[in-house]
Chain A
Amino acid sequence: MSLFNDVEKVLISETELKERIAALAAEMNAIYTDDDLPVLICILKGAFMFLADLTRHLTFRHELDFMEISSYGRGTTSTGAVRILLDLAKDVQGRNVVIVEDIVDTGNTLTYILRNFAARNPASVRVATLLSKPSRRQIEVPVDFIGFEVPDEFVIGYGLDFAEQYRNLPFIGVLKPEVYQRS
């Protein structure tokens, strides 16, 4: 399959993902109760696979909502400004919110999202991210649940894409440099 040919190496295997996500869910199960009724907000497109696997393990009552965002132009700007393509279906005022992200790198986008959420007066906001690239961080941003810290490499798969490819790989891989240098 040509998709696999572009992968330099598997960084996090399917089994490792599965085990770590179950552990993250257990952390959340220890914090939230049915009465908290948190709303998990999936940031599309990248986080859909993480959301699907994380939420299967949750034992407290929760609701889901989706927000699709898109950066202006290529990559993220220093302000982290993003366009909201799909806003929440729910009013989160007074609710306990968990933002579910695929990756936090510079922190700019997440900071922008957190500001946006703060303006909606939720009761609480926590962030769950599958991946974090601490070496890329430009701004301090609180992240409550982190799946894996990864080095500053071009990661793909499990929701993460390069030019809309490789999202569906069941593992996290590193893209061959010649693939992204080509374009």
Chain B
Amino acid sequence: MNISLPNSVERVLLDEATIQQRVQQMADIISTDYAGLRNEEFLLVGVLKGSFMFMADLARRLTVPHRVDFIALSSYEDSAEATGAVRMIMDTRVDVARRHVLIVEDIVDTGYTLQYLYRIFGARQPASLRTAVLLSKPDQRKVEVPVDYLGFQIPDVWVVGYGLDFADRFRTLPYIAMLKPSVYSK
């Protein structure tokens, strides 16, 4: 189960048990907040690729009915620096109007992507619009964005695993690890 740490990994920041416990807590809170809604009224929107693992673990712990949808944004996979520009490659399958929308993201750093999603989905007249984000790097923030359900605040280090990648590697580690600076500063 990815037991031996890859050479490029400096150390584990959040182990599997810690993540699972926190995701369970988030699911409990979200299930309480959205209690009473019908399946078609509550929509989880996962942002690919990074959120697929968080989405899988969060969704199966929710006790409230909901639909799952995915969107894909353009990514700059060869660049270590995130920029503000985002492009929607795949939109939601269903119209979000009058639905309670919960955006599911792996990480918020500068805040640009989340700000973009707030603008796009906010303009579509959802019944409500909130965000569930596993990780936040507050030191990286360039724009203020509200995060309603947050997993962990982490320092400004390069993290991989649990959906997060470096040049498309390490995405499926079941834990979140710090990458050795020598790997990404090459």
Interface of A toward B, CB cutoff 8 Å: 1-3, 22, 42, 44-45, 48-49, 51-53, 55-59, 61-66, 68, 70, 85-86, 89, 158, 164-165, 167-170
Number of A-B contacts (CB under 8 A): 92
Binding site for A on B (CB under 8 A): 1-3, 39-40, 46, 48-49, 52-53, 55-57, 59-70, 72, 75, 77, 89-90, 93-94, 168-169, 171-174
| A49 engages B172 (CB within 8 Å) | no
Which residues of A have CB within 8 Å of B46? 48
Q: Pick from B56, B168, B173: contact of A53, CB below 8 A.
A: B56
**Chain B positions within 8 Å of A170 at CB level:** 60-61
- Contacts A63-B171, A86-B90 known; list 18 others, CB within 8 Å: A22-B1, A48-B68, A49-B56, A52-B52, A52-B55, A56-B172, A57-B1, A64-B52, A64-B171, A64-B172, A85-B90, A85-B93, A158-B60, A164-B94, A165-B65, A167-B68, A168-B60, A169-B60
* Given A48-B56, A52-B56, A52-B57, A168:B68 Cβ within 8 A: yes
A164, B52: Cα distance in complex, Å: 17
Interface of A is mostly: mixed
A74 and B88 CA atoms in complex are apart in Å by: 27
Question: Do A48 and B55 have beta carbons less than 8 Å apart?
Answer: yes
**Shortest 7 CB-CB distances between A and B: which pairs?**
A52-B56, A55-B172, A168-B59, A86-B90, A56-B174, A170-B60, A49-B56
Shortest distance between the CB of B173 and any CB in chain A (Å): 8
Contacts of A58 in B (CB 8 A): 2, 172
Contacts of B94 in A (CB 8 A): 164
CA distance A103 to B168 in the complex (A): 26
CB <8 Å contact, B49 and A64: yes
